[in-house]
Amino acid sequence: MQSHPANAKTVNSPAWLTAAKAEETLGARMAQDHRGQGITIMRSRMLLTAGLTALAVPALAQLAPVPPTRPEPPPTIKLIEPGPAVADWPQYNYDQQRTGWNRGETQLSPKTVGRLRPLWNTQLVNNTPAVVLSTLTAPVVAAGVTTPNGARDLVFSIGMDDVLSAVDAATGKIVWQKSFPNSIKPMHPPVISCSNTEQATPAIDKAKGVIYFTTSDGKLRGAKLGDGSEAIRPTDMVQPYSRNWSLGVVDDVVYTTAARGCGGSPAQPVEWGAVAAMDVSDPTHPSLSRFYTGKGRPAGPWGASGVAWGPQGAYVSTADGPNNPGSGIYGDMVLAVRPHAWGLNDSFSPSHWRYVLARDLDFGSGGVILFPFGKRNLLATASKESVIYLLDADNLGGVDHATSLYQSPRLGNDTQDFQAMGTWGSLATAQDEKGTRWLYLPMWGAPAKAGPKFAMTNGDAPSGSIMALTVEDQAGKPVLVPQWISRDLNLSSSPVVANGVVYALQTAESAVQVPKSVFTADGRRQPFDVNANAVNRIMTPHSTMTLFAFDATTGKELWSSKKVMDGNTVHFTQPVVALGKVFAVDHAGHLWAFGLGR
Question: Could you tell me whether strands 389-392 and 376-381 are parallel, antiparallel, or unpaired per DSSP bridges?
Answer: antiparallel
pLDDT at residue 2 is higher than 90: no
346 Cβ contact list (under 8 Å, min separation 6): 312, 335, 336, 395, 396, 397, 401
pLDDT, one tens digit per residue, over 185-212 is 999 999 999 999 999 999 999 999 999 9
371 Cβ contact list (under 8 Å, min separation 6): 80, 82, 97, 99, 377, 378, 380, 429, 437
pLDDT at residue 11 is higher than 60: no
Print burial letters for 545-581: b (CB count within 10 Å at least 16), e (below 16). bbbbbbbbbbbeebbbbeebbeebbbbbbbbbbbbbb
The predicted structure's pLDDT at residue 529 = 82
Across 416-434, average pLDDT: 96
- Bridge partner list, 496: 503
pLDDT, one tens digit per residue, over 262-273 is 999 999 999 999
- Rounded-to-integer distance, Cα 516 and Cα 536, Å: 14
Average pLDDT, the chain: 90
Has domain 113-520+534-596 been given CATH number 2.130.10.10? yes
Question: What residue type is assigned to position 279 of the chain?
Answer: D
The predicted structure's pLDDT at residue 75 = 67
Q: Are the C-beta atoms of residues 253 and 277 closer than 8 Å to each other? A: yes
Model confidence band, residue 27 (pLDDT cutoffs 50, 70, 90): very low
pLDDT, one tens digit per residue, over 126-154 is 999 999 999 999 999 999 999 999 999 99
Across 34-39, average pLDDT: 48
Q: Which is nearest to 507 in space by CA: 425, 416, 596?
A: 425
The predicted structure's pLDDT at residue 62 = 58
The predicted structure's pLDDT at residue 14 = 44
Q: Give the lowest-confidence range in 31-45, 303-317, 509-523.
A: 31-45
- Rounded-to-integer distance, Cα 555 and Cα 487, Å: 8
Q: Which is nearest to 276 in space by CA: 312, 246, 319, 233?
A: 246
pLDDT at residue 17 is higher than 50: no
Model confidence band, residue 30 (pLDDT cutoffs 50, 70, 90): very low
pLDDT, one tens digit per residue, over 64-114 is 666 666 666 666 689 999 889 999 999 999 999 999 999 999 999 999 999
pLDDT, one tens digit per residue, over 152-188 is 999 999 999 999 999 999 999 999 999 999 999 999 9
Model confidence band, residue 45 (pLDDT cutoffs 50, 70, 90): low
Q: Are the C-beta atoms of residues 508 and 490 closer than 8 Å to each other? A: yes
- Rounded-to-integer distance, Cα 580 and Cα 454, Å: 31
Cα pseudo-dihedral 377, 339, 346, 78, rounded to 10: -30
pLDDT, one tens digit per residue, over 359-383 is 999 999 999 999 999 999 999 999 9
- Rounded-to-integer distance, Cα 273 and Cα 367, Å: 15
The predicted structure's pLDDT at residue 46 = 53
Q: Where are the beta strands (DSSP E) in 455-509?
A: 456-457, 464-474, 477-485, 496-498, 501-506
The full set of domain ranges for the chain reads: 113-520+534-596
537 Cβ contact list (under 8 Å, min separation 6): 130, 133, 192, 509, 510, 511, 512, 513
Across 525-543, average pLDDT: 89
pLDDT at residue 24 is higher than 50: no
Tell me the percentage of the chain whose pLDDT exceeds 90: 82
